[in-house]
Amino acid sequence: MRDELFSRCFVVLSFAAAFLLLSAQWRTASSSRPTATPIVTAAFQASLPPASALPSPPPEPPIASATRPRFGRLVRSGLRFNRVRLMVDLSDREVYVYRGDQLQTSYPISVGKAGWETPTGEYRVLQLRQYPVWRHPLTKEVVPPGPKNPLGSRWIGFWTDGEYQIGFHGTNEPDKIGQAISHGCIRMYNDDIEALFTQVRIGAIVTVQP
């Protein structure tokens, strides 16, 4: 009986010793295991310069009304655009807004004066800008956005020869809407150009007829 009890005690002690040994090895391995760190994130963040060191975006170039417009330049583009199209009638001094074949609305305009006629033809909207800067086509004076800016609050460009541009824009002389007074551009009341600005997209067709 004593031998049997001794044997059982030996087995229990052996199991306990083995368990304690395995537990000690596991703790040692766990303490030496490196902790996970966000290396990729930290490296990415460290590679970025501080915000104060980032270069400022270049200012947009001034928009210029055109000198004597050149006729016959049809601006073609593969850009997709919505179905809104604009039809300018120079004789009626109106721009008509169509969605498909349905007339949506129209706005009174001013057009190019003698010697600076607005070019006729079919074009596409090339630029959409809010509060544009203007450069006088002759004196090269640059006028920032504000009450003295003859472009008003919006610009929708559709013609360029690479240096000068023609488009729809607002005005700081609303009493002259309806006249042939501009350097080729199409002037509109500021409220009207802001409404038109929300309806067109880059690539929209602009047809100018006599």
Instruction: Check residues 21 and 163 and name the one with the higher pLDDT.
Output: 163
Please answer whether residues 86 and 94 qualify as being in contact, where contact means their C-beta atoms are separated by less than 8 angstroms.
Answer: no
What is the torsion angle, in degrees rounded to the nearest 10, for the CA atoms of residue 139, residue 130, residue 210 and residue 114? -20
Kindly state the average pLDDT of the residues 9-16.
55
| pLDDT for the residue numbered 7 | 57
Percent of the chain with pLDDT over 90: 50
**Known catalytic residue at 9:** no
| Alpha-carbon span 71 to 121, nearest angstrom | 8
Mean pLDDT of the chain: 74
- Check pLDDT > 60 for residue 197: yes
169 catalytic per annotation: yes
Give the mean pLDDT of 100-112.
Answer: 95
pLDDT class of 1 with cuts at 50, 70, 90: low
Please state, in angstroms and as integers, the Cα–Cα distance from residue 180 to each residue in 105, 116, 117, 156, following that order: 22, 9, 8, 19
- Nearest Cα neighbor of 65 from 178, 10, 142 is 142
Tell me how far the alpha carbon of residue 194 is from its chain's centroid: 17
pLDDT at 137 over 80: no
**Helical (H) or strand (E) element with 167:** strand 165-169
**pLDDT band for position 18 (50/70/90)?**
low
Inter-residue contact 100 to 94 (CB < 8 Å): no
**Residue labelled with tokens 């203007």:** 134
* pLDDT tens-digit readout, 60-85: 444 444 333 333 333 344 334 458 99
Q: Of 9, 136, 183, 185, which one is the catalytic site residue?
A: 185
Q: Pick the catalytic residue: 9, 136, 169, 183?
A: 169
* pLDDT tens per residue across span 36-57: 322 122 222 222 233 333 333 3
